Amino acid sequence: MKPAPFKYHAPQSLTELVDLMAELEDAKILAGGQSLMPMMNMRFVAPDDVVDINGVSELSFIERANGSLRIGAMTRQKDLLASPEVKDAAPVMREALCHVGHLQTRNRGTIGGSLCHLDPSAELPAIASLYGATLTVAGREGQREVPMEEWVLAYMMPSIAPEEVLVSLSLPVWLAGHGYAYTEFARRHGDFAITGVGALVELSEGVITKAALTVAGADVKPTRLTDVEQSLAGQPANEETFKAAGAEARKIDAMSDTYVSAAYRQRLADTLVQRALATAADRAVGGE
């Protein structure tokens, strides 16, 4: 199939983009196009206007300053993988990106596109949740910041008005030498994960001083395990601690679909939390 007729727009600056979105009543933004174009071809969506933002160069950047890693919404996934700043400040993002689609889709896909599409199993929203990222959106009345925990309103529905655009996201940088891991289970490599888990760990003499855990694919949005994180602080980084964390992760709310049951996703969350924590703890003490 081919898409329904639409008008094409190609703004060249953020100001032009914001003004255009404020004037159009039924518009979709085209970034990488890896989700939008198939949906338009199958006529799941049929916008009156398509706004191509590939010419808005100010939305593509990676910069580190003041303890944060800031990434522009139009930054390609391949550029995140190649970035020395991302490798140094957020290595778990690079690990998660290796699970995103395939080489061809990463060449075009953008971090902003993934955050706005919000597939429950997508890796980049999970990483944003893991770091407690702050997202910046812009409209005619200016910019505003949205914490990641408030970004997801419902299934594949971000907290952004039709006339607004995502500009960037900011991740707090963890201490050098922290441990990290992202692991997931999918039917085939490149498929959306049935369940995935991201972990960050800081250790002091074998004791966990700080931890972050997020489960993707189990619910309609990434699930940050804040209670488990708090219980990990002060505990030894050993198998017993990780098993206890996995048992708590098994209690999360999970959804069923045509492929697997909620109970299956909960079981995966248990197993993957244990694996992610063990890998992260090993890396925190210098193991790879």
Query: First CA to last CA across the chain, in angstroms?
Result: 47
pLDDT category of residue 288 using cuts at 50, 70 and 90? very low
Packed helices 239-249 and 262-284: angle between N→C axes, nearest 10 degrees: 150
Give the Cα separation of 138 and 31 in Å (integer).
16
pLDDT at 287: 46
Which domains are assigned to the chain? 7-52 (3.30.43.10), 60-172 (3.30.465.10), 179-284 (3.30.390.50)
pLDDT digits (tens, 9 = 90+) for 121-158: 999 999 999 999 999 999 999 999 999 999 999 898 99
Q: Which of 208, 41, 224 is nearest to 130 (CA)?
A: 224
Averaged pLDDT, 254-281: 96
pLDDT digits (tens, 9 = 90+) for 39-85: 999 999 999 999 999 999 999 999 999 999 999 999 999 999 999 99
Task: Report how far Cα 202 is from the mean position of its chain's Cα atoms.
Answer: 21
Averaged pLDDT, 97-108: 86
Instruction: Report the percent of the chain where pLDDT is more than 90.
Output: 86
The overall average pLDDT reported for the chain is 94
Is the Cβ–Cβ distance between 79 and 168 less than 8 Å? no
List of E strands, 57-188: 62-65, 68-72, 134-139, 142-147, 152-154, 157-158, 165-172, 179-185
Give the Cα separation of 220 and 154 in Å (integer).
7
Q: For residues 176 and 166, which has the higher predicted lDDT (pLDDT)?
A: 166
